[in-house]
Structure 1
Amino acid sequence: MPTIKLLEDIEDLSRSRFGQPSPRHGLELLFWFAKEYIWFDNNNQIDMIYNPKDGYFGFHHFRNIIDNQDGRLLPAQNSPYYEVGNLGSTGANQLPYYVTKKFTHHIDGSNTDRLIIGLNLNGKICKVYVTQHKDLRNFSHDNTYQLSESLLYEIHNISRCEAFLKVVHETGKVKAKAKSRQRQREYVSIPMDDNFPTQEENTCCPCTIL
């Protein structure tokens, strides 16, 4: 099974492109989970306001089997995984409107994102993952990420979903601009060789155009 990348902060989340672009709902789902489903005690340990076994908000048991074979999306563990985010499932109507408002009931990406939690033997959250469907039945290994507690805590402390979305999108824009400037510097700094052909000399291109 491929290694699952850990997203440690909002910059990592933005770079992963999880929940983007619209009409995907993964970022809104993640904000709801971090803000309204869990809380942090005095030791900054995660606890849940609800029990996923009860099925609120569409939570249901995740079997951790993909491709209808013995393959696994997540590491094997003796305690259960629970999945949420299917906007067409029973209980999903309990999610806030900002999570469900883009759902079109069509195959257009508006219901592709999921959040999966792993519980330990004491029934406490030990792992949190985000993923997306690669087809109607299976999830994508390459687009599955584990979330750090520090990232969840960072999201938990943002006041509103709109503010969270703005931070994610603005972080992505800043990174894109930085990469663009880096490419420009690399292009400008190419050293010129005395033997480099001039425009007149370079009349034959070695490339093959198919």
Structure 2
Amino acid sequence: MDWKQPLCCLLCSLPLLVTLEIQTINSINELEERNFGKTFPQHGIPLLYWFSTLIDIDQNAIIRFKEGSYDPVTDIPFELVENSGSLPYMIPSGERAYYSAGDFESGSFSYLPFYVTQDFYNSRNHAGKNLDRIIIVIDKWYTPVRVDQVYVAEVSECNLPNVTSNTSITYKVGIQLLRQIITLTSPLDCQNKFLKEIFPHLGFSLTLAENMFGQPGFPLFMALSGYDLVDRYNITAQAWSCSPLLPAGVRKSLCDTSRQELAIRTSHDGHAVISWHGLPSSVLKVHTTVALFQTGDRSTALVQQRIDGQASGTLETSVPLNPGLQVQLIKQDVSDATIWQGPEFNDGNRQIPVSVGNASASMQLFTRKGYAGVRLYIRKTFVNWRDDFYYSWVGFYASEEDSNEDYLSGQWQWVTRFTKHKLLSLFRWDVYEYVCNTAITPGLHARFFLTEYYEWARTKPWDM
């Protein structure tokens, strides 16, 4: 039977010989009627909500990214994908291409917010936890870039990386649908009771969504889209030691996980701080432990501590901040069982690289072993960057209030002396890094100077 999977993937990789008409979803009502991303642990509906938070749509229906939500040099948080037939043909061009987000086996998934990735981390052995994608056409001929088309797709089980030919369901997303979602993401100046009066048909679905999700407008969007909230609640309630849904009329107390958070914060010496918040009352009645693990080694916790009865708290550790750290909440019993997993720590704090002036380069603050570092992404087409940046340097600053002359003592470097990171350098860009001798701390940031104190770029302050 082992031949079936390779054959499946081979067939999936062949270009489609028949051009299929792709239906357009023009409203949330139409989305509810479509068979896309409706069951646990699929993430297509959260992906749509997330994408709507990245963009603005003008009166001419032109879609552009909000400042700081997309890097045109690396394309983070999206990845370039090859269209082998499942999407409309497009003449190959360096300025216009298909890009995708939502693949949990790709490097860019760590830039997705936890409300998109949480079911992937916590779906145990459920099938279908990496099926959904959002695919867009980015046109870089314009400055700033614009998004010409938006699609959602469900890939087949024989998913091939960075190829769109293996999609089994594909829909085009209409401008009106995106406008409706954007409207929902804006904070609503009304109470939940008023929302239920506006959307009476949602009934108990909206109540369930509000008990599981806390982002503005997200519970309402999940309910309106037709996501199977009852199934998700029952599955996650089991993990949180909550009672499953009872018959109608006996729904007095629901398990509220909308505010729960397991996260990694930053100490003032570059070490990991375990943080937990908003744990439901159900787990406060059992013996629980917070533990810190490193990706690739789930057998031994780096740090762990009993937190029985504590709904919120922090725990400082001596573990240096590094990518792949993850907090888990564990139920202690005859055999320890993981209740919930937080997101894996992203060494760039999930911050999108910032553009360096008008050059084909971008810059990102990151941490390695608890120390602060700067990562430069240089487009391979920018062949004269060493000449253009010959007098350029990067310095580290403790506060945004500091003047350009007040960089941390000795914590700076000429750009041309950065070290090339061969593993991160790809076919479209090279990566150069500099790690200083200062611990990463809240508020610390980096500034890029073209010459002397002529500032060309600045990262956001480290905010953890």
TM-score for both structures, normalised by structure 2: 0.33
Matched with 1:118 is 137
Quote the residue 1:87 is aligned against: 104
Gaps of 5+ in 1: 66-71, 171-210
Post-superposition offset of 1:42: 4.9
Partner Cα separation in structure 2 for residue 126 and residue 105 of structure 1: 37
Letter of the structure 2 residue corresponding to residue 84 of structure 1: A
Match of 1:202 in 2: none
What's the counterpart of residue 158 of structure 1?
184
Corresponding position of 1:62: 81
CA contact 2:132–2:154 (8 Å) conserved in 1: yes
| Cα displacement string for residues 112-142 of structure 1 (whole angstroms, at most 9, x for unaligned residues) | 000100133434211100001122225335x
Deviation at 1:53, TM superposition (A): 5.0
1:96 lines up with 2:100 in the alignment = no
Does the Cα contact within 8 Å between 1:8 and 1:151 map onto a contact in 2?
A: yes
Select between 83-92 and 100-109 the one with higher mean Cα deviation: 100-109
Alpha-carbon distance between aligned partners in 2 of 1:155 and 1:52, rounded to the nearest angstrom: 24
Partner residue of 2:245? Answer: none
Determine the structure 2 residue equivalent to 1:26.
44
2: CA distance, partners of 1:105 / 1:74: 32
8 Å Cα contact 1:60-1:84 kept in structure 2:
yes
Q: Higher RCO, 1 or 2 (CA under 8 Å, sep at least 6)?
A: 1
- Structural mapping, 1:121-140, within 5 Å: 121-122=141-142, 123-137=145-159, 138-140=165-167
Q: What residue is the counterpart of 2:87 in the other structure? A: 74
What corresponds to 1:41 in structure 2?
Answer: 58
Partner of 2:29: 11
Does the aligned pair in 2 maintain the 1:38–1:47 contact within 8 Å? Answer: yes
Amino acid at match of 1:127: Q
Contact kept, 8 Å, 1:133 with 1:139, in 2: the verdict is: yes
Q: Percent of aligned pairs with the same residue? A: 29
How far, CA to CA, are the matches of 1:5 and 1:28 in structure 2?
A: 20
Amino acid in structure 1 at the alignment position of 2:105: G
| In structure 1, C-alpha distance between the alignment counterparts of 2:105 and 2:184, rounded to whole Å | 28
Aligned residue for 1:101, secondary structure, equals helix
Report the equivalent of 2:333.
Answer: none
Deviation per residue, 1:14-64 (Å, 9 max, x gap): 111211111100000110001x2111235453111314652423x111110
Structure 1 or 2: more helix by fraction:
1
- Give the Cα separation in 2 of the matches to 1:16 and 1:112: 16
Instruction: Assess if the C-alpha contact under 8 Å between 2:41 and 2:126 holds in 1.
Output: no
SS at match of 1:56: coil
Q: In the aligned structure 1, how far is the partner of 2:61 from the partner of 2:41?
A: 33
SS at match of 2:226: helix
Structure 2 contact 154–170 (Cα < 8 Å) conserved: yes
TM-score by length of 1: 0.70
Can you list the C-alpha shifts for 1:132-181, whole angstroms capped at 9, x where unaligned?
1122225335x1000111111111111321111011128xxxxxxxxxxx
Counterpart of 1:126, as a letter, is D
> For the Cα contact (< 8 Å) 1:53–1:60, is it kept in 2?
no
Alignment coverage as a number of residue pairs: 161
Answer with 1 or 2: which has the greater Rg: 2
Please give the alpha-carbon distance, in whole angstroms, between the structure 1 residues aligned to 2:155 and 2:50.
20
Distance 2:29 2:74 in 1: 34
Residue 135 of structure 2 aligns to a residue whose secondary structure is strand
Higher normalized strand content (fraction of residues): 2
Retained in 2: the 8 A contact 1:52–1:60? no
Distance 1:107 1:77 in 2: 36
* 8 A contact 2:62–2:146 mirrored in 1: no
2:153 paired with 1:146: no
Q: Distance in 1 between matches of 2:225 and 2:44?
A: 12
Conserved? CA contact 1:61–1:80, under 8 Å: yes
- For the residues of structure 2 that align with 1:52 and 1:14, how far apart are their CA atoms? 33
Amino acid at match of 2:177: L
Structure 2 residues not aligned, in runs of 5+: 1-18, 160-164, 186-216, 228-464
Which stretch has the larger CA shift, 85-94 or 105-114?
Answer: 105-114
